[in-house]
Amino acid sequence: MTRLIAALFGFFAAIGRVPIGLFAAIGRVAIFAWRTISRGLAPPYYPGRFLEQLASIGWFSLPVVGMTAIFTGAALAQQVYTGGSRFNAQSTVPAIVTFGMVRELGPVLVGLMVAGRVASAMAAEIGTMRVTEQLDAMETLRTDPFRYLIAPRLFAAVLALPAMVLIADSIGLFGGYMLSIGKLGFNPSNYLHTTRQFLEMDDVVMSLVKAAVFGFFIALLGCYNGYATQGGAAGVGRSTTDAVVSTFILILLSDLLITVMVFT
């Protein structure tokens, strides 16, 4: 009987460790975010670091973002046309491409592509500084790593992602436009007129809000996993993987939550 009770307690304890561990991790990330924002808004400021991160996150991500957007816009136009032809609804291509790219595919794909490039780089760089004790040396020299390393990345990502999403939305719409008039036989003026008719400011605002949220998560989780690195080179590898995976999950989850809240 005693063994049975002990086994039951062990079973329920094992089940309970999962939600407890999850809430503990959420709490650690929330504390890390609060510490970063509160310290980043207080002097001293490092505008040079901010501009450096703005270029690294935004400017140097534009090639991969642009290629992803134009290919996705063209593929979306082809898929909508193929599906619409089954119901005699080929004329819906401009509207659906506009709606799909601006509201959903543009911000999500940009977020995922930038996360794969930026979050991993942040985790690897800060994680290497952690295991080589460079962060400890900075604190010894009275330089706050949150102000000098983490806050510039966080603020730069929140500003850079909306700008990149605007560019990606435009390039994606252009990709759908080029395939539609070059292969699907659409009239250029009619296609542009339909695009302008169905593109509303609410769509653009929703796209930018999603982009800012995604940028926040990309920088936050990249820096957090790097800052919490332990275990030498192997730990840096684990932190990089954890940063990318957790960022992907949070991007998709927050995209769902924002979409559901807007359309409720």
- Predicted confidence (pLDDT) per residue in 32-54, tens digit: 999 988 888 888 888 888 999 99
Lowest mean pLDDT, pick from 9-13, 41-45, 82-86, 127-131: 9-13
Does the pLDDT at position 145 exceed 80? Answer: yes
Given this model, what pLDDT does residue 218 score? 94
pLDDT for position 110: 92
Q: Is the pLDDT of residue 5 over 90?
A: no
What are the strands, taking DSSP E only, across 54-102? none
**Mean pLDDT on 15-31:** 80
> Does residue 8 have a pLDDT over 70?
no
Domain ranges of the chain: 44-263
For the residues 72-96, what does the mean pLDDT come to? Answer: 84
- Average pLDDT of the chain? 87
Mean pLDDT of 198-213: 88
- Span 125-147, average pLDDT: 87
Q: Name the residue with higher pLDDT: 91 or 119.
A: 119
* Predicted local distance difference test score (pLDDT) of residue 162: 93
Residue 1's pLDDT is 60
Would you state the pLDDT for residue 261? 85
Residue 11 is predicted with a pLDDT of 66
- pLDDT band for position 111 (cuts 50, 70, 90): very high
pLDDT band at 153 (very low <50, low <70, confident <90, very high): very high
pLDDT for 96 equals: 86
Mean pLDDT of all residues in 177-198: 86
Single-letter code of the amino acid located at 119 = A
